[in-house]
Amino acid sequence: MSGKLGFGYLYDFRNPAWAGRKSEDLYAEILDAVAWTEGAGFTGAWVPEHHLADDGYMPSPLVALSAIAARTQTIRLGTAIALAPLYNPVRFATDAAVLDILAQGRLDLGLAIGYRKRETAALGVDFTKRGRMFDEWLQIVTRLWAGETVDFDGQFYRCSGARLMPPAPRGRIPLYIGGFAPKAIERVARYGDGYVGDAGAFDGYADKLREAGRDPASAKIRVTGLMTVVARDPATALEELAPAFHHVNNSYGQWFDEDRALGMESFTPMSLDPFKASGVLEVLTPDQAIAKFKALQQAIPVDHYIMMMPPGLPVERFVHYAEVFAKDVLPAFA
């Protein structure tokens, strides 16, 4: 299944209190870092979405991506992921079309339904209906991007005479849909251009493609490897990086535990020393990383691997580790 494999980073713009940063300064430095990664040979910049987070986790990914589009020229950019049921579909389709124009056709969208009742409650969405809402939502946005004038009378959304002006420049914005439950994977096969999430979902994704009458050879997977870092001295790197990634692990773990609606087991909150010993944070040498990614290429149709800039790590230290990756790993996948 070997094909071209690109690499990029997820930027969640979090600013934990212990980092002691002003958001204005942090945002500016993140934009500088994204621009640097483009020059270093990375091919993706991805922004996720969550709400009500004490550390300022990015709640407005399309706004952040507009700033990234203005600072870059060639890198792919997009959401990974946006919480689709929290948006009016006509408004989202419109904003995404404008963003794709600004990005000159570089926008990809990772979408899912979310897993936190607090978020849906805050935005007036029924948590129990978000999957069915997403199905209607996808019908509307894809028809709008295709240039149709849309009249829609569904259970959750209604619109009359909706169309995009200016239109979506490519007639469609590539959709990488996430999720773990069988219905989520079915949705990927039906509506998506690919899947974003865990590499272990491929077999189920391929089965759903067959059921939908699509060739599994057409599958595309973007793997989120948020806990993957490359360093020439992994032991030293682990000591430096563990506090930032520990924050990631514990915040996600707490969110997953709130409603147990993710559809799989994932991060487990723990104290720092057990976290460092757990292996959750995967610090690899360049040779280990190359072997890992080449094996992944052989196993599944992965076209992009998403790492992250962890919250609280000084930007210059993120650039240090990204530079090691760029110099020691990227040439093996050129």
C-alpha distance from residue 32 to each of 25, 81, 106, 115, 315 (Å): 11, 22, 19, 32, 9
Q: From CA 106, how far away is CA 334, in angstroms rounded?
A: 20
- Lookup: tokens for 210: 């067959």
Q: What is the mean pLDDT of the chain?
A: 96
For residue 4, pLDDT over 70 is answered with: yes
Predicted TM-score (pTM) of this structure? 0.97
C-alpha distance from residue 91 to each of 40, 66, 84, 137, 200 (Å): 35, 16, 11, 11, 33
Closest among 8, 34, 37 to 323, alpha carbons compared: 37
Q: Tokens 């650039």 map to which residue?
A: 319
Local confidence band at 263 (pLDDT 50, 70, 90 cut-offs): low
Looking at residue 262, its pLDDT comes to: 74
Please check whether residue 244 is in contact with residue 307, taking contact to mean a CB–CB distance below 8 angstroms.
no
The arithmetic mean of pLDDT across residues 278-284, rounded, is 98
For residue 224, pLDDT over 90 is answered with: yes
3-state secondary structure the chain: CCCCCEEEEEECCCCCHHHCCCHHHHHHHHHHHHHHHHHHCCCEEEECCCCCCCCCCCCCHHHHHHHHHHHCCCCEEEEEEEEHHHCCHHHHHHHHHHHHHHCCCCEEEEEECCCCHHHHHHCCCCHHHHHHHHHHHHHHHHHHHCCCCEEEECCCCEEEEECCCCCCCCCCCCEEECCCCHHHHHHHHHHCCEEEECHHHHHHHHHHHHHCCCCHHHCCEEEECCCEEECCCHHHHHHHHHHHHHHHHHHHHHHHHHHCCCCCCCCCCCCHHHHHHHCCCEEECHHHHHHHHHHHHHHCCEEEEEEEECCCCCHHHHHHHHHHHHHHCHHHHC
For residue 264, pLDDT over 90 is answered with: no
The arithmetic mean of pLDDT across residues 14-30, rounded, is 96
44-47 vs 6-11, strand pairing mode: parallel
Share of residues in the chain with pLDDT > 70 (%) = 99
Local confidence band at 2 (pLDDT 50, 70, 90 cut-offs): low
For residue 137, pLDDT over 90 is answered with: yes
**11 DSSP β-pair partners:** 309
Give me the architecture of the 6-329 domain, per CATH: Alpha-Beta Barrel (3.20)
pLDDT tens for 311-332 read 999 999 999 999 999 999 999 9
Domain chopping of the chain, boundaries: 6-329
For residue 216, pLDDT over 90 is answered with: no
Sign, CA dihedral 69-73-79-85, equals positive
Local confidence band at 284 (pLDDT 50, 70, 90 cut-offs): very high
The arithmetic mean of pLDDT across residues 186-198, rounded, is 95
Looking at residue 92, its pLDDT comes to: 98
Share of residues in the chain with pLDDT > 90 (%) = 93
Local confidence band at 3 (pLDDT 50, 70, 90 cut-offs): confident
Looking at residue 76, its pLDDT comes to: 98
pLDDT tens for 245-259 read 999 999 999 999 998
pLDDT tens for 84-111 read 999 999 999 999 999 999 999 999 999 9
